[in-house]
Structure 1
Amino acid sequence: MDFFVTHELAILRWLHIVAMVYWLGGEWGVFQTSYKVVNTSLSFEERARHMETAYRIDIMARTGIISLLPLGLHMGYLWGLQPLGGGWLVAMWIVWVVWMAITWGAFANRGSKLGLFLSNIEDWTRYLLIPTLLFLSISSLLGNGPFEAGDGQKWYSAKMLTYGCLLILGVILRLIMHEWRALFPILEKGPNAEVERKLQRSMFIGRCTAYTYWVGILATAFFGAVKPF
């Protein structure tokens, strides 16, 4: 315990870096695997295997995304950039544990009714969290709090803002994967030109979204590492 207290900020920073690496690397892995998922020259069985691989990579990316928020808020308290500490931090980490249980439960039970139920709950966490983060970050940048935004402190709210915007892009990518999950049972029954067109269309949207996503992730990391303003 003494070791953690002494090195608390350094440990949190290390975990934050690891979470960011899993996020960026995981999204790249899913992106590359998706080319095989929509490749009509491959057999259905092979495409299904690549789809399974995409889900296995994606769960690590989602773990990183979810973990970044409590890590960033915890470090923000230690830096004096956000006011909620003590019992609030304990409650925040308890929520993180529940959130992770839902996320991994949805992954472990994918394809079942339970998995779909948990996945829907996970989707709704984004729908509630995104407007909250956007409101708090914009309010802070305008000088209304709750985050400190004086000289040399605005990077924190800016980072929170870009993180919230990236969650919007993440929702788009999640909806694309939901569509794939719904379309693949149809393909399993045999070739279907309409389904293939839908897959290609969603792939195009996903590629455009992914490129923007990576730029945003790099910008978010830049704000955290450089603290430019």
Structure 2
Amino acid sequence: MIISLGGTMLEFLAAYELPILRWLHIVAMVYWLGGEWGVFQTSYKVVNPALSLEERSRHMDTAYRIDIMARTGIISLLPLGLHMGYLWGVQPFGGGWLVAMWSLWVLWMAITWGAFSNRGKPLGKLLSDIEDWTRYIVIPLLIICSISSLLGYGPFLAGEGQKWFSAKMLTYGLLLILGFGLRLVMHEWRALFPILAAGPNPEVEARLDRSIKVARLIAYTYWAGILTTAFFGAVKPF
């Protein structure tokens, strides 16, 4: 009975592999866009000097709780997109390469959620630093591969009707840069709050005010870029 159920499940997954991946991709995109909006709105409370430090700290914790779902979506979009790209025939890496890719995704998620679960602790700081360093590897790799593919050198296929995939990967890589900038802003806030805990500090409040202004400009560009990336994936215009 168990073997029969297992076989039925595998048959179902094989038959609906692409639709399931597309569904997960949509869910990840929703968490990404919605999560970033939630963090942005919460951040106004974090930098509001009219509120008590305790209340601002609660809002910052809320921002981190929303942000972890956005980051889960961001990280998941990469293997989902590459997996679907293989099934669509626009990127050639399948088989063992996909297994390795999803294994790395599991490790990446473990680091990300470990950093979140241990935030404020030395282990959380270590895992957060490791997560930051993953961007230094992934971002250049995505941008270089995407531009190279659009120029016809691969590794992604970019023939007639296939360039949308490389364009999507390029905008995704650029968005990771903007997302990393917003992440650094949150790192700065966490570093400044212990200083505020010692008493009112106009200089720190001024730094928080400047950071939210910078973050606002980044966020607007970020959302436009997310919509553009989604457009490339949904419409496949070229």
Structure having the higher Rg: 2
Equivalent pairs counted in the alignment come to: 229
Name 1:95's counterpart in structure 2: 104
Q: Give the match for residue 237 of structure 2.
A: 228
| Correspondence for 2:178 among 160, 169, 193 | 169
Residue in 2 aligned with 1:66?
Answer: 75
Q: Does 1:33 align with 2:47?
A: no
Q: Which amino acid aligns with 1:179?
A: E
Q: Deviations over 1:33-87 (max 9, x none)?
A: 0000011110111000000000000000000000000000000000111111001
Aligned to 2:5: none
Alpha-carbon distance in structure 2 between the residues aligned to 1:187 and 1:6: 57
* Structure 1 CA distance for aligned equivalents of residues 145 and 25 of structure 2: 21
CA deviation string 1:105-129 (max 9, x = no partner)? 0000000110000000000000111
Q: Displacement of 1:188 after TM fit?
A: 1.1
Matched residue, 1:140: 149
4+ runs deviating over 3 angstroms: none
How much does 1:140 deviate? 0.2
The C-alpha deviation readout for 1:167-214, integer Å capped at 9, x for no partner, is 000110010000001001111111110100110111111000000000
Whole-angstrom distance in 2 between the partners of 1:26 and 1:171? 15
TM-score by length of 1: 1.00
Structure 2: 5+ residue stretches without partners? 1-9
Question: Aligned partners of 2:121, 2:195: CA distance in 1, in Å?
Answer: 16
Given candidates 131, 145, 159, the residue that maps to 1:150 is 159
What's the CA shift for 1:17?
A: 0.2
Q: Which residue of 1 aligns with 2:137?
A: 128
Distance apart, 1:13 and its partner CA: 0.1
Counterpart in the other structure of 1:110: 119
> Which of the numbers 8, 12, 17 marks the counterpart of 1:3?
12
1:217 and 2:226 aligned: yes
SS of 2:171's equivalent in the other structure is: helix
Identify which of 78, 83, 107 aligns with 2:92. Answer: 83
| Aligned Cα root-mean-square deviation (Å) | 0.4
- What CA distance in whole angstroms lies between the structure 2 residues aligned with 1:44 and 1:190? 9
